[in-house]
Structure 1
């Protein structure tokens, strides 16, 4: 009895894998690669890889092999996070982002699932080559946050935003752990990355308000409204500015840091906070904050000088 049940289960699983493989083969290679790249959100992958390189440079790493392994773990983790988010947000994306590969039908759910599995296998294999502390940092903190983000954290106001902001900032801590088995060296960059991403994520929720309302998602703008969300953005922007100045004073950072922080972070973020929904659309505000995120890497670089 148990053996026959085992055979039925095994056959069902093999049939599922076979169906996934057939869906994957139906896509031409060029179309498949294009859709996978779009699903990964290339800007997010670029920022995460650039962050890894920057953090390694700030910590004076001279081991290219270790750098490549860290980049693989970070890049595949970002892909998995974005792909899972697309899977969970499939219905919402048909409203908010109908051109996304999965929402538009450019790639099937089975093909994407098989790709996620492949990326996860690569991720784990490379991760096991790093130190034990890095392994458990990912296993016990990063991976649970990635998997549970959409079903558990995203529906809670600010909580989902804080999780996404933490994941990006954790790249600095991950590199520090891989190299020095500590997080103290990269904690200041983590603070700036967290605060800047937090502001951007709230603005993105404002941009997605219509779709989130239809799906009854309890994002901050859907719960407290646009006006109160703008006040919170202004408050977070002020905290970001104070944090940046505090780090400059306490860590005795250079004038180059102060100048780049003012020009690349304070001025555009302050402008966005003051003008959003008053001549500056939500989509334009998101674009400005994306540029600030990339520019923030330049600011963090000058923390070392």
Structure 2
């Protein structure tokens, strides 16, 4: 990821282990909880998911989430105070409340998902003692995720409408959803260049951003303009999913 060159010193293996033991269970728990709440939606949009397909009973998602959130919390309690606060007072409530509270709110739900993913970088910075260096990667990750969530809303518009989830694309239509994705892409392309323009990061950052971010985002703009429909959005969502972790 683009964050790794910005950490000036390698943290202890113990701290790394505790950070991983917090992030991985939290992420898995959030996915399990989302599958539990999204059971009716996944029956339409993603029938191959473990709960929707019947491979596991629906309640398995709930109990798995509880166990994993507890495990991640126990690990987070061993970390520095700033990391604990980010994990337990910000990330954990957002993860738990996302599907039942925020997901049905157009753009708000998207922004919460973006914040959760971006918080992983702030959490890592706080755990390793370099929080101030992680605001750039936080913005990059959050921006990428917000864009991908907007694109996925267009991809999932039929299933979301069928079960009454009022996403941006459902409420204002696919053309408006495509326009939103294009606007977010342009903002993200400009935002990614700001750390270089403001001389926060140097030439290595610029090169990495051009190759890893600007070119793929330019491709998504061209593709969405040529394929302004749920199918085209599905392909762009896959591209963004790969690129955000590149």
**Scaled by the length of structure 1, what TM-score is found?**
0.74
Q: Provide the residue aligned with 1:146 in structure 2.
A: 95
The answer to whether the 8 Å contact 1:156/1:218 transfers is yes
Which residue in the other structure is 2:123 paired with?
174
Counting matched residue pairs gives 243
**Please, which of 227, 240, 250 is the counterpart of residue 188 of structure 2?**
240
Q: Distance in 2 between matches of 1:275 and 1:116?
A: 37
Provide the C-alpha distance between the structure 1 equivalents of 2:8 and 2:118, rounded to a whole number of angstroms. Answer: 16
Match of 1:219 among 159, 167, 186: 167
Aligned to 2:234: 283
Given that residues 206 and 226 in structure 1 are in contact (C-alpha distance below 8 angstroms), is that contact kept between their aligned partners in structure 2?
yes
Give the gaps of 5 or more residues in structure 1: 1-49, 296-305
Look up the match of 2:152.
204
Shift of 1:277: 6.3
User: How far apart, in 2, do the equivalents of 1:165 and 1:55 lie?
Assistant: 20
Give 1:219 deviation, angstroms.
0.6
> Which shows bigger deviation, 216-225 or 124-133?
124-133
The answer to whether the 8 Å contact 1:55/1:186 transfers is no
SS at match of 1:276: helix
Equivalent in the alignment of 1:35: none
Question: Is the contact made by 2:79 and 2:127 (CA closer than 8 Å) also made in structure 1?
Answer: yes
For the 8 Å contact 1:162–1:198, the answer to whether it is kept is: yes
Q: In the aligned structure 2, how far is the partner of 1:282 from the partner of 1:245?
A: 25
Deviation sequence 1:85-126 (CA, Å, 0-9, x none): 101100000000000000001011233333223212211221
- Counterpart CA distance in 1 for 2:25 and 2:8 is 23
- Within a 5 Å distance, the mapping from 1:85-100 to structure 2 comes to 85-100=34-49
Range with bigger deviation, 96-105 or 58-67: 58-67
Q: Which structure has the larger Rg over C-alpha atoms?
A: 1
248-257 vs 234-243, greater mean Cα deviation = 248-257
In the TM superposition, 1:1-305 aligns within 5 A as 58-180=7-129, 183-276=131-224, 278-279=226-227, 281-295=232-246
Contact preservation (8 Å) 1:234, 1:273? yes
Give the Cα–Cα distance (whole angstroms) in 2 for the partners of residues 144 and 192 of structure 1.
22
CA distance in 2, matches of 1:95, 1:70: 36
- Aligned position for 1:12: none
Q: Compute the RMSD of aligned alpha carbons.
A: 2.0
Task: Classify the secondary structure of the residue corresponding to 1:186.
Answer: helix
**Distance change >3 Å, CA 85–CA 264, structure 1 → 2:** same
Tell whether the 8 Å contact from 1:55 to 1:176 is kept in structure 2 after alignment: no
SS in structure 2 at match of 1:102: coil
Structure 2 distance, partners of 1:285, 1:186, is: 27
Tell me the TM-score normalised to structure 2 length: 0.91
